[in-house]
Amino acid sequence: MITMDDIIREGHPTLRKIAKDVKLPLTQELVQLAEDMLQFLKNSQDPEIAEKFELRGGVGIAAPQVNVSSRLLAVHVPSSDEESDEPEFSGVLINPKIISHSVQQTCLPDGEGCLSVDREVPGIVPRHKRITVEYYDIDGIKHKERLRGYPAIVVQHEIDHLNGIMFYDRIDPENPLALPDGIDILG
Ligand SMILES: CNC(=O)c1cccc(C)c1Nc1nc(N2CCN(c3ccccc3Cl)CC2)nc(N2CSC[C@H]2C(=O)NC)n1
Ligand code: NI
């Protein structure tokens, strides 16, 4: 299983590399990695497992964060409705590509965190409010998904990792808490 010991932290060169496209069909090794990444997110959101294995909560993780410079990421965004057990968006995205996006921007009101960043970096991280992302799943099936809101923010944060971009690269250094004109804060 993936634990925090497997997650590289800022300063590690792999976090600043451009990850390489994944060759399909996936090798058994990459299938296992993809499954382990998704399981890590689920484990990190389970109070007992997270406490037992000292996991930090996450809703997204990219392969470079476990020192694998390949274009593969996992997201597991729980439903905003506590009642439902169905996640809002969950899965493994292989060779993801944002093929279109809204002009309208959005952001998390309290900023973003990252499993590879062991410090609070306050500031607004402007993201596209809506994206259309093309990707392959673990079975090599091509998908074209329109995402908005929190899932869209998470997928953009994780795709940034495939391009060596950290969330704080997108914070305005002059005025970190300033809301860019027309931004629609995620509520
Ligand atoms: C500096 N202020 C902040 O960080 C920040 C501050 C307040 C609110 C938010 C919402 C913030 N922001 C933020 N909170 C999260 N989580 C909230 C806790 N949660 C979680 C934790 C434990 C169990 C289950 C779960 Cl569900 C896991 C996810 N995740 C991300 N990001 C940025 S996009 C990728 C995603 C990620 O997985 N990061 C590790 N940002
Ligand atoms: Ni991150």
Give the bridge partners for 61, in sequence order. 74
Residue range 2-26, pLDDT digits in tens: 999 999 999 999 999 999 999 999 9
ipTM of this complex: 0.98
* Rounded distance between C-alpha atoms, residue 186 and residue 166, angstroms: 20
32-58 pLDDT tens trace: 999 999 999 999 999 999 999 999 999
Evaluate if residue 86 carries a pLDDT over 90.
yes
Pocket of ligand 1 (CB under 6 A): 45, 57-60, 78, 108, 110-115, 120, 153-154, 157
Q: With contact defined as beta carbons under 8 Å apart, do 15 and 161 qualify?
A: yes
Mutation to probe ligand 1, out of 37, 59, 160 (largest number of atoms < 8 A from CB)? 59
CB contact set of 41 (below 8 Å; sequence gap of 6+): 58, 59, 60, 61, 74, 75, 76
pTM here? 0.98
Q: Compute the distance between CA of residue 37 and CA of residue 48 in angstroms, rounded to an integer.
A: 18
pLDDT of residue 120 exceeding 90, the answer is: yes
**Shortest CA distance to 89 belongs to which of 156, 19, 139, 2?**
156
pLDDT by residue (tens digit) across 150-174? Answer: 999 999 999 999 999 999 999 999 9
Q: CB of 64 within 8 A of CB of 19?
A: yes
The pLDDT-based confidence of 187 (bands split at 50, 70, 90) is confident
Phi, psi of 62 (to 5 degrees): -115, 150
The pLDDT score that the predictor gives to residue 83 is 81
Q: Which tens digit of pLDDT belongs to each residue from 95-119?
A: 999 999 999 999 999 999 999 999 9
Residue 84: which pLDDT band, with cuts at 50, 70 and 90?
confident
